[in-house]
Structure 1
Amino acid sequence: MDRALRDDFFACLRFYSRLPVPAPRGHEMPDFRTAVRALPLAGAVIGACAAAALLAARALGLPPFLAAALAVGALVLVTGALHEDGLADLADGFGGGATREEKLEIMRDSRLGSYGAIALTLSLMLRVGALSALAERSVLQAAAALVFTAALSRTAGLLPIMMLAPARGDGAGHAALRPFEQALRTAALLVLATALPPLAAGAPLGGALLAIAGAAGAAYAMTKLAERQIGGLTGDVLGAAQQAAEIAALLALAAR
Structure 2
Amino acid sequence: MLKRERHEQIMRQINLHNRVLTTDLVDMLQVSEDTIRRDLQELSESQKLLKVHGGALSRSYQSAYDDNAIYAREAKIVIAKKTISLIKNGMVILTGGGTTIIELVKQLPVHLKATFFTISPFVAIELAKYDGIEVILIGGIFSKNSKVTFGGHVISQLAGINADLCLIGTSAIHPEYGLTDTDWEINELKKAMFQCSKHVAILCISEKLDITLRLKVAGLENIHHLITELPAEEECLREYRSRGLNIH
Same fold (TM over 0.5): no
TM-score normalized by the length of structure 1:
0.29
Instruction: Identify which of structures 1 and 2 has the higher relative contact order when contacts are C-alpha pairs closer than 8 Å and 6+ apart.
Output: 1
Point out the structure with the larger strand share. Answer: 2
